[in-house]
Structure 1
Amino acid sequence: MKASQEILDFYTRPAAMTSAGAHAPRLDELPRDVPSLVRVVQGLLLHQHWAHAYGVELSDERRDESHLRPVDRMLDRLLAHDARPLSAARPLETRLVGTCRQFTVLLVVLLRAKGVPARARCGFAGYFNPGSFVDHWVCEYWNAAEARWVLVDAQIDDAQRAALQPDFDLLDVPRDRFVVAGDAWTKGRAGEADPMKFGFLDEGGLWFIDGNIVRDLAALNGMEMLPWDCWGAMSRPEEPHGDERLALFDRLAAITRAPDARFAELRATYEGDDRLRVPATVLNAVLNRQDTI
């Protein structure tokens, strides 16, 4: 499918969470190709849940870095630790601590700075725990030569690859190995997959999937929130949906599964519904507090 120029332009422009701000000139020196940019990202970030695998013990203050949302603030903190050019891979102790979401949005920013359309996708990865699909984010970029969107998992570096042993190219993740939230919902509703297999740790089910649909919708509209930010239409744990809410999420799943084909509807649905649009404050469910955006 060929994406329209309007769509490609939209996903090339910085947005609220994906602007480098005053640090934009620092991106000029970086390479243009996807593999090199992925290596840059991996040299700047440390995943908080993998830190122990690298022999790093994180303080509470360092763990709090994973709650930074806008990329310009992420870069503020990173450069406060180590002011060298972004092309310089940091030692583990001076990398910015984050999650899959930070790896994803930083790669989105770097790709857009090079004129490559890119967007964050929220869904579930089937390559962490066999038999389950774990809450996860990846980057999706437009490969102009092949005229298609390609999924890239920037988080999985050499150490994680050795531990996980994926049997596919992490620079071109198959759509059945990373399942966008809308696809997970549709499969669950159709009985093609067990909704309880989609989640994180001991939590899962349609209520978990619908939260990721709302986050994916927001990300596709330029608001890449934290994986634990909650607002509006998202269900509470184990909350029953009822016919009206099932119909709502059936529609949202269909829109986000094919965002290019329904781009005008994607934009209008997000902007026109207070339940879906990111509000001025959201619940940070990890810290159990209201955060101002």
Structure 2
Amino acid sequence: MEIVRYADRTDRQVRVGLRTDEGVRQLPVTELAELLRLSLGELRDTLEKPGDLVSDPFLLPPIDGRTELWASGVTYERSRDARVEETTEKSVYERVYDAERPELFLKAVAWRVVTDGEPVAIRADSGLDVPEPEFGVVANSAGEIVGYVVCNDMSSRSIEGENPLYLPQAKIYAGSAAISTGIVPAWEVANPLDLAIALEVERGGATAWRGETSTARMHRTPDDLVDYLFRGDAFPDGAILSTGTGIIPELSFTLRDGDVVSISIAEVGTLTNRVTVGKDPLAWLVTALSDPFAREAAR
């Protein structure tokens, strides 16, 4: 079971649905953000009453309205070690790994997020770039975790490594944020603290790099991360929080134009994106604000 956003090919309107093995059924809301204003119990009740089956829905990223995508840093030992290896300011990452307060940063507003089958990007002014496969938690406006997604927190290691204050430029740019097409309700995942995560980068039809980890290796819990996120601000349409990566390639590896990045998280789903370079290949995101089918040409 997954909550999805889709565009109807008949009237080109964007709607929200529930995807199961039989297909997608329409839900009685016009925006996914409406669901994230509900309590966990109210959301569960709403999902028990889906409508008619939808014919050939065009799936969109499951984020809209004022919902924001945030991200966490240095939540796995591997992430700490990789940041220390690449940076000129090693103590910053060593200290935050063990600090009480986590590293949190805004990754993208809703309209900038891409989904499965759409391109992600590396910056044209960066020389060392990697995907960061991450377990994403979906929180409602009250800060309750109501679902899960697969996230790709694309990152420029060279820019962040030059100076930690360049983090926004290393992390926030066109094509830097991707999430899977569906939100798996929280009650559908038995143990979110023990999920296998896998990454594979394909280049020219062959595997260029692959790695694995598990949410069991997280240094912080998703509940703690969401608690800190909601301490300082309100999220009237909820938020998605990417909880950090435990898979980072060696410094000798960097993404290239045309690579295909595939991420899978047990019980949550998969996310596959082709890599492009620069902001121009993501220009369609602006058009997609008014015409969701502008995404179709990019897939």
> Normalised by the size of structure 2, how large is the TM-score?
0.28
**Structure with a larger share of its residues in helix:** 1
> Normalised by the size of structure 1, how large is the TM-score?
0.29
The higher relative CO (CA closer than 8 Å, separation ≥ 6) is in 2
